[in-house]
Amino acid sequence: MAIIDVQKLHVSYGRAEAVHGLSLTVEPGRCHALFGRNGAGKTTTLKALLGLVPVTSGSVTLFGLDLLRHEREVKSKLAYVPDAPGFYPWMTVRDALDYAASFRPGWKTDVEQHLLERFELDPKAPTSSLSKGQRTQLALTSAVSADPELLILDEPTSGLDPLVRRQFLEAVISTFQDRDPQKKSLLVSTHLITEFEGVVDEFTLVDRGRDVLTIEADTARASYRRIRGWFEGDAPSSTPLTTLTPPTREGRMLELVVDREADAARAWLTSAGAQRVEAEALSLEEIFLVAAAR
Amino acid sequence: MVWSIDYHSGVPVYLQVVQQVQSAVASGVLREGDQLPSVRALAEQLRVNRNTIARAYGELEHAGALENRQGSGCFVRASATPLRKAVRTERLTGAVDSLIVQAHTLQVSDDDLRGLLDERLTEFDARRKSEE
């Protein structure tokens, strides 16, 4: 049974962001990423999953339960780290965690302690005195300590310095999947794709409120290739092949970006007179850039 | 041992971990009884999904290269493989075939290829001895 099953989701609210018929399925134990430009509809999709915005049409099923009819049960199994976490300013770090724990029967105090130490968060510090990085660290501590089956992260590391970003990711890897990794699912929306490259099992490209591509990360990296050929004289200026981006020519070198057609591209370059041909897989960020430009 | 993941190789991440352990064993960097990092530690170090490392270790265990001792970790096993010789030969044939195809594409002669193979075997042998 899928942990997340969204079918033909439509959300109209405000004007800046909206979702137009997005579908998304995530199986248990998977880490699924939403990639997309600003305003593509990623945050609205996550908010619809959390019941924070009204769904115009379509269905949202989490843990096999309809979100609207079983909101309390669904919410007890998930946790969320927003891009700009807010806390009651009069609370200390300790108060904020105790408050969050009061709603969560499965609260893990050992996980909480481990993360507080790892992040060097002072339990006595007022939440109003925390930096942006520390607020995110506190939000993650709170989310993971609740021992959710599904952890939803919305642009969790944007605006943080590189060291804090790295610590954040390492903490997610080290603590979230600790118990029952087969049942711990992660949904992350990010534009810092490189950072999450190794963690992401599969991803959905979101553009203008729609899912335009859903693919396994390993499959994507195995399919997309950048093939370069070097010629004796000037490289040919065009190719009969279907390429994902227009061929780039630099003097003696011609570069083709292809999906699954690597062998054909190599063969064509060789037959066109290339003396040396090299191929390289595209990283997820490069795949995103290629797909987003289309 | 130094671990690294290359996202431009197009090789699945779990397979890169499998291959790195295999080549460390073949070159003597890892020897029988050596302990590998825990799934959690290696996942955190490489910043990859824990399920990916667990899958890699699972494959290595299945292939007889690792032994998972409950509670104490993963250890390199003696070079013994549970696969019969015929199966081992069959598995290697594919790799040898693609090597031959590549040599042909690069216009390396059969004799030069044999020479290169001998040279590399000697090199790995020397590396193993220097690790001992």
Question: What are the tens digits of pLDDT across the range B86-109?
Answer: 777 777 888 888 888 888 888 889
Q: Is the pLDDT of residue A31 over 80?
A: yes
Chain B residue nearest residue A183, CA to CA: B51
Between CA A195 and CA B36, with CA B21 as vertex, the angle to 5 degrees is 85
- The minimal CB distance from A222 to the residues B10, B40, B47 is found for B10
Residue A108 pLDDT class (50, 70, 90 cuts): very high
Residue B126 pLDDT class (50, 70, 90 cuts): confident
Which residues of B lie inside 8 Å of A (Cβ-Cβ)? 5, 7-14, 40, 43-44, 46-52, 54
Structural tokens at position A18:
């909206």
Quick check: B44 and A174 CB within 8 A? yes
Secondary structure (DSSP) of B24-65: HHHTTSS-TTPBPPPHHHHHHHHT--HHHHHHHHHHHHHTTS
Chain B residue nearest residue A175, CA to CA: B40
- The minimal CB distance from A199 to the residues B10, B12, B47 is found for B47
| pLDDT in the model for residue A34 | 96
SS3 of residue A236 by DSSP:
coil
Tens of pLDDT, residue by residue over B68-78, are 888 888 999 87
Quick check: A197 and B40 CB within 8 A? no
Chain B residue nearest residue A177, CA to CA: B50
Tally of CB atoms within 10 A around B50: 23
Mean pLDDT over the full length of chain B: 87
| pLDDT in the model for residue A68 | 86
Boundaries of every domain in chain A? 4-208, 220-293
Q: Which residue in A7, A32, A36 sits closest to A209, CA to CA?
A: A36
Which residues of A lie inside 8 Å of B (Cβ-Cβ)? 29, 31, 166, 169-170, 173-174, 177-178, 181-182, 195, 197-201, 217-218, 221-222, 225, 280-284
Q: Which residue in A203, A205, A248, A199 sits closest to A228, CA to CA?
A: A248
C-alpha neighbours within 13 Å on the C-beta side of residue A242: 4
Left if phi > 0, otherwise alpha if psi is -120 to 50, otherwise beta: which for A100?
A: alpha
Q: What backbone torsions phi and psi does residue B82 show, to the nearest 5 degrees? A: -75, -5
> Does residue B1 belong to any structural domain of this protein?
no
CB of A141 within 8 A of CB of B11? no
Residue B83 pLDDT class (50, 70, 90 cuts): low
| pLDDT in the model for residue B84 | 64
Position with higher pLDDT, A110 vs A183:
A110
Question: Can you name the residues that pair with B71 across neighbouring β-strands?
Answer: none
Q: Is the pLDDT of residue A21 over 60?
A: yes
Clarify whether residues B50 and B96 are in a common domain: no
| pLDDT in the model for residue A221 | 92
Position with higher pLDDT, B132 vs B124:
B124
Tens of pLDDT, residue by residue over A136-163, are 999 999 999 999 999 999 999 888 889 9
Structural tokens at position A190:
């990010």
Helices A132-145 and A162-171 cross at an angle (nearest 10°) of 0
Residue B61 CB burial class (10 angstroms; 0-12, 13-18, ≥19):
middle
Tally of CB atoms within 10 A around B109: 10
Quick check: B51 and A177 CB within 8 A? yes
CB of B44 within 8 A of CB of A168? no
| pLDDT in the model for residue A291 | 85
Clarify whether residues B22 and B67 are in a common domain: yes
* Alpha carbons A147 and A181: distance in angstroms, whole number: 12
* Alpha carbons A150 and A29: distance in angstroms, whole number: 9
Clarify whether residues B91 and B71 are in a common domain: no
Contacts of B10 in chain A (CB under 8 A): 221-222, 225, 280-281
Question: Can you name the residues that pair with A259 across neighbouring β-strands?
Answer: A224
Q: Which amino acid makes up residue A48?
A: A
Clarify whether residues B125 and B98 are in a common domain: yes
Stated length of chain A = 294
Q: What backbone torsions phi and psi does residue A238 show, to the nearest 5 degrees? A: -145, 170
> Does residue B95 belong to any structural domain of this protein?
yes
Tally of CB atoms within 10 A around B123: 11
Mean pLDDT of A17-29: 91
B13: closest CA of chain A, how far (Å): 7
Mean pLDDT of A232-248: 87
Clarify whether residues B37 and B55 are in a common domain: yes
Q: What is the DSSP letter of B10?
A: -
Mean pLDDT of B21-33: 85
Q: Is the pLDDT of residue B22 over 80?
A: yes
* Alpha carbons B2 and B67: distance in angstroms, whole number: 21
A150: closest CA of chain B, how far (Å): 15
Clarify whether residues B72 and B32 are in a common domain: yes
- The minimal CB distance from B9 to the residues A29, A174, A281 is found for A281
Residue A179 pLDDT class (50, 70, 90 cuts): confident
Residue B7 pLDDT class (50, 70, 90 cuts): very high
Q: Which residue in B24, B84, B14 sits closest to B52, CA to CA?
A: B14
Mean pLDDT over the full length of chain A: 91
CB of A79 within 8 A of CB of A175? no
> Does residue B6 belong to any structural domain of this protein?
no
Q: What is the CA radius of gyration of chain A?
A: 22
Clarify whether residues B72 and B20 are in a common domain: yes
Q: Which of the residue ranges A115-119, A239-243, B1-5 has the most confident prediction, judged by mean pLDDT?
A: A115-119
CATH topology of domain A4-208: Rossmann fold (3.40.50)
Clarify whether residues B67 and B96 are in a common domain: no
CB of A26 within 8 A of CB of A185? yes
Tens of pLDDT, residue by residue over A195-204, are 899 999 999 9
Clarify whether residues B59 and B110 are in a common domain: no
Mean pLDDT of A273-279: 90
Quick check: B48 and A166 CB within 8 A? no
B62: CATH: 1.10.10.10
| pLDDT in the model for residue A230 | 92
> Does residue B4 belong to any structural domain of this protein?
no
| pLDDT in the model for residue B102 | 84
Quick check: B7 and A31 CB within 8 A? no
Total number of domains in chain B: 2
Clarify whether residues B45 and B96 are in a common domain: no
* Alpha carbons A269 and B13: distance in angstroms, whole number: 29
Quick check: A218 and B13 CB within 8 A? yes
Quote the domain boundaries for residue B89.
Answer: 85-131
Query: With pLDDT > 90 as the criterion, what percentage of chain A qualifies?
Result: 66
* Alpha carbons A92 and A125: distance in angstroms, whole number: 5
Quick check: B44 and A173 CB within 8 A? yes
Clarify whether residues B17 and B59 are in a common domain: yes
Residue B124 pLDDT class (50, 70, 90 cuts): confident
Tens of pLDDT, residue by residue over A42-91, are 999 999 999 998 899 999 999 999 988 998 999 999 999 998 899 999 99
Most B CBs within 10 A among A196, A218, A226, A276, hence the mutation to make, goes to A218
| pLDDT in the model for residue B88 | 73
> Does residue B5 belong to any structural domain of this protein?
no
- The minimal CB distance from A198 to the residues B8, B10, B13 is found for B13
* Alpha carbons A199 and A189: distance in angstroms, whole number: 13
Tally of CB atoms within 10 A around A222: 16
| pLDDT in the model for residue B64 | 86
Report the DSSP pairing between strands A253-259 and A248-250: antiparallel
Clarify whether residues B56 and B102 are in a common domain: no
CB of A205 within 8 A of CB of A291? yes
B54: closest CA of chain A, how far (Å): 10
Query: With pLDDT > 70 as the criterion, what percentage of chain B qualifies?
Result: 92
